[in-house]
Amino acid sequence: MEKFEKRHDLTFNKVCGENASVDPSISLDWKNELTSFLVDARDIFNVDEIGLFYKSLSDRTLTFKNEKCHGGKNSKERITVMLAANMDGSQKLKPLMIGKFANPRCFKNVKSFPLMYRSNKKAWMTGVLFTEWLLCIDVDMKKANRKILMFVDNCTAHNNIPHLENIKIHFLPPNTTSTLQPLDQGIIKNFKTMYRKEIV
């Protein structure tokens, strides 16, 4: 079987991603529509949330052939992290991290924080948290005297957009984030890979 696979250039891959379920005509129409409201690449941002199993360790390790490799159950404890970056990669906005606990012990005696931390029972994004984060970014942009365009997916937590002076929100078409969301084109994967590398 191995020789047959080599001869016919076959590989065994895991089926992943949602690209196959996206209608290509919707994506193409939206890309053509983009030209009507594009501004400087520095002022175009994309925002997306990710679920991070922050205690989950790798299920692979080096071992001797004769040794049995045992491991326990992987932790399912998760947090939500919202990432935002601009089109030319010159700026990353302060991330929003959502955990289950209001005052985690690991934050004790931490003086300065590189992100915004909020909590709720399920560690999920809510409309209230998204609005609060947006208003903070709007204030920062006002101080910097910048007006930006922000692409956001159309999940229910993003529906109640407050009045913003320096941010214009534009929603991605429904069910097309796997092909159109810029952060889904490898940025989130790299973030998770680098996090896993630090953990290991």
* Confidence tier at 49 by pLDDT (50, 70, 90): very high
Which amino acid would we find at residue 63?
A: T
What is the tens place of the pLDDT at every residue in 89-98?
Answer: 889 998 999 9
The percent of the chain in helix, strand and coil, each rounded to the nearest 5, is: 35, 20, 50
Question: How many Cβ atoms sit within 10 Å of the Cβ of residue 42?
Answer: 14
* Confidence tier at 199 by pLDDT (50, 70, 90): confident
What is the tens place of the pLDDT at every residue in 9-25?
Answer: 877 776 555 545 556 66
Paired tokens of 173: 């078409």
Which amino acid would we find at residue 179?
A: T
Which amino acid would we find at residue 128?
A: V
Helix/strand/coil (H, E, C) string of 87-152? CCCCCECCCEEEECCCCCHHHCCCCCCCCEEEECCCCCCCHHHHHHHHHHHHHHHHHCCCCEEEEE
Q: Can you give the pLDDT at residue 131?
A: 93
Question: How many Cβ atoms sit within 10 Å of the Cβ of residue 17?
Answer: 11
Paired tokens of 11: 């590989």
**Who's near 47: CB < 8 A, 6+ residues apart?**
82, 83, 84, 93, 150, 151, 152, 183
